[in-house]
């Protein structure tokens, strides 16, 4: 910006009004130096304030009330949280969320590691193409993915059951049991996120100095040994970062299980795959008069993610040392 | 310097606050439809779910009055309800006229202040509709919040081609004669299973919906709106018959509104479903033009019944309440109700419409020219009003039906399913 140029030193001959003008522009310049940085960072804070901070504060306030979305609000203190601790369905949703997270994330990260290692080979042809290709699922709309996978995992006309029928397996009603619904949802999550994680891991792998591998090769270590002894240990910080990202995403899982369950907030007739986010929506939005309770679930979810992130951080600190 | 340092922070904060206010001020202008001279709105928004058959009527209204009408549709009631809730709670995107179904009407009645009193806005129509239907449009504080659109009535939609393959009669009176009562219906289902290996009925929950409404009385709530799901006679009876259907294996286990269910109409996964009049449009849409003439309409086991039906209401926060009420009045008039029936099947509640020869002689070409005007119209007089509590729909969809489906899928035994139902009914039904 032009204003940021420092004021020209005043010529000694000049006195009176011109001098006055110089101090004016110097003042402006100083003002500019002091305050414009706030203006530059303002957009983030404004957007965060409106869409991040305000909803959080409002949600906290709501969670202390018996809050009817289109009716009255009564202050009840921490009753919602006390109730929540005794609520079977809350704990059920928590188990589902963590369960789906484990079922989805473990194979996902192993596969991502494998893919990244493959793409890291120096002699691979069409490297850029493959790197782009594995990222494409990630930019596909979640709803589209969920709808398509929902059809693949249909009971009567689904492709998966059709393929399984060749192996002599009877038609599986995917959304009727815990294990099958979790598997189907894990497939959707993995399809979208494996490539994304593979790219991050690949970036981590490329930061490992080449000469380590060359030295290892000279010592007679094969590819497999190099992978275990060099790649994996050097990759740990990246790996923990990927785990952290997956955790945050996994705990907020919503669209995939919702659309898999045909748009019903229950997530299966016996809540087999209702996640915390879905339970929050059920209580907070779906049944009008329990919005305060829904807000309490939102805060419980927030605290939970905080705890898990803290554990992750502790692990990173230890491994990086 | 420390003082001026703090001062500068304050200035920065003030600048940021001003920016925020500027942004939100921009945001609060949500583009309401403008008003032309004389106070007439340019546009009215009409919010409906499923199929009301208003497409042609709305065009006619635009021509007659010069007011544009935006007709919004949402396929399923369980997606529609949250939209209405959101607009009522925030005042944003609120429609001028809103359709309310009987299952959710009472929930909205518990906060009547959200809805405009229509009595001063429209002419007195109190004697023109089925009396019970008219009365249900009133809130507890006496204000009129809804004008009656349709009732469901109840029939059975069945596939003539599949019935023929199974060696069952095809002609509609003969089909009605197959099942004078529910045990006879179950027997027919067993025969169908023996011959074809398939389920006769789509799912156990269409049956439970039909049976609870047919028996009537207090369903999930008593007259004082206490939850009585565990003691209610109609619930118990519907529950028992539903369980017998599952035990006899006569259903195709396709959960209503699921993709399996929608596809099942085309694929012939099942051969029959319970059809309130408004369901005809849905059966037709799901089955597609290639199955035209394969469906027909027969009577329901155990006589008659009613399932569904709606009202048109005007939100209190709407900008053009007087004009919106006029639109609702137009859409619920005798001629409009007959036109909507012909287009998509919602059954008239206006007494004059029910007597209209055009309505009475109407045959539906998609359903093998079934005289749907006569079949459904004839049953309207016999419909007994049923008391539905504030959260009827939530208890039905989130407590009773999941429990029945869990039993249907073999995930829960009879006792576990019942316990699950009663537990959920208590939480879902609280208001």
* Domains of chain A (ranges, CATH numbers): 88-320 (1.10.3720.10)
Q: What is the pLDDT of residue A22?
A: 56
> B332 and chain A: CB distance < 8 Å anywhere?
no
Q: What is the pLDDT of residue B304?
A: 82
Structure tokens at A217: 């090769």
Per-residue CA distances from A75 to A54, A72, A280 (Å): 19, 10, 20
CA-based nearest distance B235→chain A, Å = 19
Per-residue CA distances from B222 to B130, B132, B230, B234, B331 (Å): 23, 17, 11, 12, 33
* Confidence band, pLDDT 50/70/90 cuts, at residue A210: confident
> What are the tens digits of pLDDT across the range A63-81?
999 998 888 899 999 999 9
Work out the mean pLDDT of chain B and round it to a whole number: 88
The interface predicted TM-score (ipTM) is 0.75
Work out the mean pLDDT of chain A and round it to a whole number: 87
Enumerate the domain spans of chain B. 43-150+309-360, 155-308+373-429
* Confidence band, pLDDT 50/70/90 cuts, at residue B10: very low
Q: What is the pLDDT of residue B362?
A: 94
Among the ranges given (A117-126, A148-157, B201-210, B211-220), the one the predictor scored with the smallest mean pLDDT: A117-126
Q: Is the pLDDT of residue B324 over 90?
A: yes
Are B43-150+309-360 and B155-308+373-429 equal in CATH topology?
yes
Return the residue in B82, B265, B315 with the most chain A beta carbons within 10 A, the one to mutate for interface testing.
B82
Q: DSSP letter string over A135-170?
A: TGGGGS-HHHHHHHHHHHT-SSS-HHHHHHHHTTPP
Q: What is the pLDDT of residue A261?
A: 87
Q: Is the pLDDT of residue A286 over 90?
A: no
pTM: 0.81
- Choose among B130, B136, B123: nearest CA to B355: B130
Residues of A in contact with B265 (CB under 8 A): none
CB B292, CB B366: distance < 8 Å? yes
- Choose among A222, A253, A244, A215: nearest CA to A315: A244
Q: What is the pLDDT of residue B426?
A: 92
Among the ranges given (A121-125, A174-178, B230-234), the one the predictor scored with the smallest mean pLDDT: A121-125
> B148 and chain A: CB distance < 8 Å anywhere?
no
Q: Is the pLDDT of residue B94 over 80?
A: yes
Among the ranges given (B10-24, B70-84, B158-172, B255-269), the one the predictor scored with the smallest mean pLDDT: B10-24
Q: What is the pLDDT of residue B188?
A: 96
B260 vs A45: CB contact, 8 Å cut-off?
no
CATH fold label, B43-150+309-360: D-Maltodextrin-Binding Protein; domain 2 (3.40.190)
DSSP at B303: B
More confident residue, B82 or A187: A187
As a whole number, mean pLDDT of residues B190-216 equals 94
CA distance A48 to B95: 30
A70 vs B88: CB contact, 8 Å cut-off?
yes
B85 vs A156: CB contact, 8 Å cut-off?
no
> A157 and chain B: CB distance < 8 Å anywhere?
yes
CB B376, CB B153: distance < 8 Å? yes
The CATH classification number of B155-308+373-429 equals 3.40.190.10
As a whole number, mean pLDDT of residues B240-258 equals 94
> What are the tens digits of pLDDT across the range A87-141?
999 999 999 999 999 999 999 999 999 999 888 876 778 888 888 888 999 998 8
Q: Is the pLDDT of residue A254 over 70?
A: yes
A297 Cβ contact partners less than 8 Å away, ≥ 6 residues apart: A84, A90, A276, A279, A280, A283, A284
Q: What is the pLDDT of residue B4?
A: 41
Q: Of all residues in chain B, what percent are helix, strand and coil, respectively (each to 5)?
A: 50, 15, 35
CA-based nearest distance A228→chain B, Å = 45
Q: What is the pLDDT of residue B34?
A: 45
Pairing of strands A65-67, B155-159: unpaired
> B419 and chain A: CB distance < 8 Å anywhere?
no
A39 vs B85: CB contact, 8 Å cut-off?
no
Nearest CB among A46, A154, A266 relative to B402 is that of A266
Residues of B in contact with A68 (CB under 8 A): 111
Nearest CB among A49, A176, A286 relative to B20 is that of A49
CA distance A197 to B283: 45
CA distance A150 to A189: 12
Structure tokens at B107: 């929930």
Residues of A in contact with B89 (CB under 8 A): 69-70
> B10 and chain A: CB distance < 8 Å anywhere?
no
CA distance B265 to B285: 9
CA distance A109 to B424: 38
């Amino acid at each position: 910006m032009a204003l940021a140029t420092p004021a020209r030193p005043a010529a000694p001959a000049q006195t009176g009004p011109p001098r006055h003008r110089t101090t004016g522009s110097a003042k402006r310049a100083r003002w500019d130096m002091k305050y414009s940085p706030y203006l530059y960072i303002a957009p983030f804070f404004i957007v965060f304030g409106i869409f991040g901070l305000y909803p959080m504060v409002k949600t906290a306030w709501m969670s202390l009330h018996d809050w009817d979305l289109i009716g009255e609000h009564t202050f009840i203190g921490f009753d919602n949280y006390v109730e929540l601790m005794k609520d079977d369905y809350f704990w059920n949703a928590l188990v589902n969320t963590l369960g789906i997270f484990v079922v989805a994330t473990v194979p996902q990260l192993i596969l991502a590691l494998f893919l990244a290692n493959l793409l890291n080979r120096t002699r691979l042809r069409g490297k850029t193409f493959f790197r782009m290709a594995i990222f494409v699922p990630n930019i596909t709309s979640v709803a589209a993915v969920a709808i398509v996978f929902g059809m693949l995992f249909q009971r009567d006309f689904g492709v998966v059951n059709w393929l399984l029928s060749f192996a002599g397996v009877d038609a599986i009603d995917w959304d009727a049991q815990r294990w099958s619904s979790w598997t189907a949802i894990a497939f959707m999550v993995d399809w979208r996120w494996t490539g994304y994680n593979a790219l991050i891991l690949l970036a981590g792998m490329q930061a490992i100095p080449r000469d380590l591998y060359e030295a290892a090769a000279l010592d007679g270590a094969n590819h497999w040994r190099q992978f275990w002894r060099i790649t994996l240990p050097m990759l740990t910080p990246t790996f923990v970062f990927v785990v952290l990202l997956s955790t945050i995403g996994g705990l907020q899982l919503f669209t995939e299980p919702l659309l898999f369950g045909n748009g019903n907030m229950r997530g299966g007739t016996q809540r087999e795959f209702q996640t915390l986010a879905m339970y929050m929506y059920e209580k907070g939005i779906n049944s009008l008069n329990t919005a305060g309770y829904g807000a309490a679930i939102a805060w419980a979810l927030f605290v939970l993610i905080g705890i898990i992130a803290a554990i992750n951080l502790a692990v990173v600190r230890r491994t990086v040392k | 310097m420390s003082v001026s340092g703090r001062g500068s922070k304050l200035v920065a904060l003030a600048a940021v606050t001003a920016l925020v206010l500027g942004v939100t001020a921009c945001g609060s202008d949500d583009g309401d439809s403008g008003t032309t001279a004389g106070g007439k709105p340019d546009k009215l928004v009409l919010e409906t779910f499923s199929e009301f058959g208003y497409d042609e009527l709305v065009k006619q209204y635009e021509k007659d009055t010069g007011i544009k009408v935006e007709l919004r549709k949402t396929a399923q009631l369980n997606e529609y309800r949250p939209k209405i809730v959101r607009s009522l709670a925030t005042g944003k995107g609120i429609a001028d006229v809103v359709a309310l179904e009987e299952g959710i009407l009472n929930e909205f009645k518990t906060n009547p202040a959200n809805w405009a009193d229509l009595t001063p806005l429209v002419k007195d129509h109190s004697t023109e509709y089925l009396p019970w239907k008219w009365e249900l449009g009133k809130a507890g504080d006496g204000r009129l919040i809804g004008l009656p659109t349709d009732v469901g009535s109840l029939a059975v939609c069945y596939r003539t081609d599949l019935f023929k393959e199974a060696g069952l009669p095809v002609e509609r009176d003969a089909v009605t004669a197959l099942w004078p009562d529910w045990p006879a219906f179950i027997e027919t289902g067993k025969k169908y299973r023996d011959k074809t290996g398939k389920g006769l009925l789509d799912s156990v929950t269409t049956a439970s919906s039909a049976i609870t409404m047919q028996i009537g009385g207090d369903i999930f709530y008593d007259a004082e709106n206490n939850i009585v799901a565990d003691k209610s006679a109609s619930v118990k009876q519907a529950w028992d018959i539903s369980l017998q259907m599952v035990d006899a294996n006569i259903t195709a286990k396709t959960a209503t509104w699921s993709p399996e269910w929608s596809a099942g109409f085309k694929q012939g996964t099942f051969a029959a479903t319970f059809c309130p009049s408004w369901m005809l449009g849905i059966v037709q849409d799901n089955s597609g033009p290639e199955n035209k003439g394969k469906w027909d309409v027969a009577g329901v086991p155990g006589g008659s019944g009613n399932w569904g039906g709606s009202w048109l209401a005007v939100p209190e926060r709407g900008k053009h309440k007087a004009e919106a009420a006029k639109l609702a009045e137009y859409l619920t008039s005798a001629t409009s109700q007959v036109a909507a029936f012909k287009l998509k099947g919602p059954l008239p509640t206006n007494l004059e419409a029910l007597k209209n020869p055009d309505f009475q002689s109407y045959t539906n070409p998609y359903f093998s020219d079934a005289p749907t005007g006569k079949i459904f119209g004839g049953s309207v007089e016999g419909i007994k009003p049923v008391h539905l509590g504030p959260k009827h729909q939530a208890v039905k969809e989130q407590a009773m039906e999941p429990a029945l489906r869990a039993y249907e899928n073999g995930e829960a035994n009879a006792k576990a399913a019942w316990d699950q139902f009663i537990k959920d009914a208590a939480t879902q039904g609280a208001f």
